[in-house]
């Protein structure tokens, strides 16, 4: 089953739409869903032109395609457990919160909190992702616990904060504090970043570019070969009795 949701042009295009109902399995029972715009609850067809092709009896057989000004949509794919969501443009905050299965593919950029606290499934973002990509939430002990997030562009600050499991790969640069408080899982940044893996307790963090503002609480172990690269291995964060591994191609301490 393929569900196509094309956003209708809105008079007040600055009001975000909270669309946690856009999850593949919800379409098995039809398209009679509700979304919020500000304090108003609207039917799905008031916001989108909806068309459905084919049938499915399981969430895995459902693909939802979103187009139009989709960067206004928040919480798309929250608690998703199967199926596929394809976003042809950008997507708003909190896409794929708590997801446990299925795939979300974003062709544009993603706003903050992409894949927050996800437990499984795959998110692919072909553009950039903003702050708190694949992270935990305020105060929480564990962030992302499983699954995969792959971003082809750059990401903002606090990438994979409190990462506890799963894999996060960023092909561009990351901002400040990627992998802060991480305790498990794997984080790979192909480009540069600053202050990686602060206060890490466990897991592995790879920076294939340069780690700026390298934290002094990591202990240098030596060099290792990893997937054809020579990386410098650190253990830490010693400030937190951490048993994590940080691998960087190059690093510079603060002056």
**Which region, judged by CB under 8 A, interacts with other proteins, from 43-51, 136-144, 187-195, 214-222?**
136-144
Give 4 or 240: the residue with its C-beta nearer to other proteins. Answer: 240
Q: Cis check for the bond before 27: say yes or no (omega within 30 of 0).
A: no
Give 79 or 137: the residue with its C-beta nearer to other proteins. Answer: 137
Give min distance, CB of 139 to other proteins, in A.
4
Is residue 141 within the footprint of other proteins (CB under 8 A)?
Answer: yes
Residues 6+ apart with CB under 8 A from 168: 133, 134, 144, 148, 149, 150, 159, 160, 185, 186, 187, 188
Is residue 137 within the footprint of other proteins (CB under 8 A)?
Answer: yes
Task: Retrieve residue 111's tokens.
Answer: 């706003």
Question: Sheet of 17-18: strands edge to edge?
Answer: 40-43, 34-37, 17-18, 73-74
**Which region, judged by CB under 8 A, interacts with other proteins, from 84-92, 132-140, 168-176, 186-194?**
132-140
By rule CB under 8 A, what string of x and - marks binding of each residue 40-79 to other proteins? ----------------------------------------
Give min distance, CB of 202 to other proteins, in A.
12
Local structure of 8: helix, strand or coil: coil
Is residue 108 within the footprint of other proteins (CB under 8 A)?
Answer: no
Give 196 or 242: the residue with its C-beta nearer to other proteins. Answer: 242
**Which region, judged by CB under 8 A, interacts with other proteins, from 57-65, 133-141, 190-198, 215-223?**
133-141
In DSSP notation, 51-113 reads: EEES--SSGGG-EEEEESSGGGEESTTTT-EEEEEEESS-B-TTTTTT--EEEEEESS-B-SS
**CA gap 175, 12 in Å, rounded:** 32
Residues 6+ apart with CB under 8 A from 119: 98, 99, 100, 144, 145, 146, 147
Give 72 or 183: the residue with its C-beta nearer to other proteins. Answer: 183
Is residue 39 within the footprint of other proteins (CB under 8 A)?
Answer: no
Give 25 or 201: the residue with its C-beta nearer to other proteins. Answer: 201
**CA gap 136, 117 in Å, rounded:** 5
Largest CA distance in the chain: 61
Give 58 or 219: the residue with its C-beta nearer to other proteins. Answer: 219
Is residue 4 within the footprint of other proteins (CB under 8 A)?
Answer: no
**CA gap 180, 166 in Å, rounded:** 15
**CA gap 109, 221 in Å, rounded:** 37
Residues 6+ apart with CB under 8 A from 38: 15
Is residue 140 within the footprint of other proteins (CB under 8 A)?
Answer: yes
Give 28 or 235: the residue with its C-beta nearer to other proteins. Answer: 235
Pick from 67, 202, 240, 250: which binds other proteins (CB under 8 A)? 240
Pick from 9, 13, 139, 228: which binds other proteins (CB under 8 A)? 139
Binding residues for other proteins, per CB under 8 A? 137-141, 240-241
């Amino acid at each position: 089953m393929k569900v196509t949701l094309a956003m209708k042009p809105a008079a007040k295009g600055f009001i975000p739409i909270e669309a946690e109902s856009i999850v593949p399995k919800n379409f098995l029972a039809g398209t009679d869903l509700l979304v919020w715009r500000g304090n108003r609850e609207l039917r799905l067809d008031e916001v989108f032109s909806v068309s459905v092709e084919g049938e499915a009896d399981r969430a895995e057989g459902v693909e939802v395609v979103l187009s139009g000004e989709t960067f206004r949509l928040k919480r798309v794919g929250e608690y998703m457990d199967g199926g596929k969501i394809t976003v042809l443009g950008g997507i708003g905050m909190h896409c794929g919160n708590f997801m446990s299965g299925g795939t979300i593919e974003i062709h544009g950029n993603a706003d903050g909190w992409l894949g927050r606290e996800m437990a499984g499934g795959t998110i692919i973002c072909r553009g950039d992702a903003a702050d708190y990509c694949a992270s935990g939430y305020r105060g929480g002990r564990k962030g992302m616990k499983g699954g995969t997030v792959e971003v082809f562009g750059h990401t903002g600050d606090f990438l994979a904060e409190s990462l506890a499991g799963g894999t996060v790969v960023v092909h561009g640069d990351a901002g400040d504090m990627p992998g802060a408080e991480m305790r498990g899982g794997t984080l790979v940044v192909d480009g540069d970043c600053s202050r990686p893996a602060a206060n890490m307790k466990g897991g592995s963090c790879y920076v294939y570019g340069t780690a700026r503002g390298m934290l002094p609480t990591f202990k240098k172990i030596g060099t290792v070969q990893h997937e054809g690269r020579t990386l410098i291995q650190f253990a830490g964060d010693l400030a937190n009795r951490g048993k994590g591994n940080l691998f960087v191609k190059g690093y510079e301490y603060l002056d």
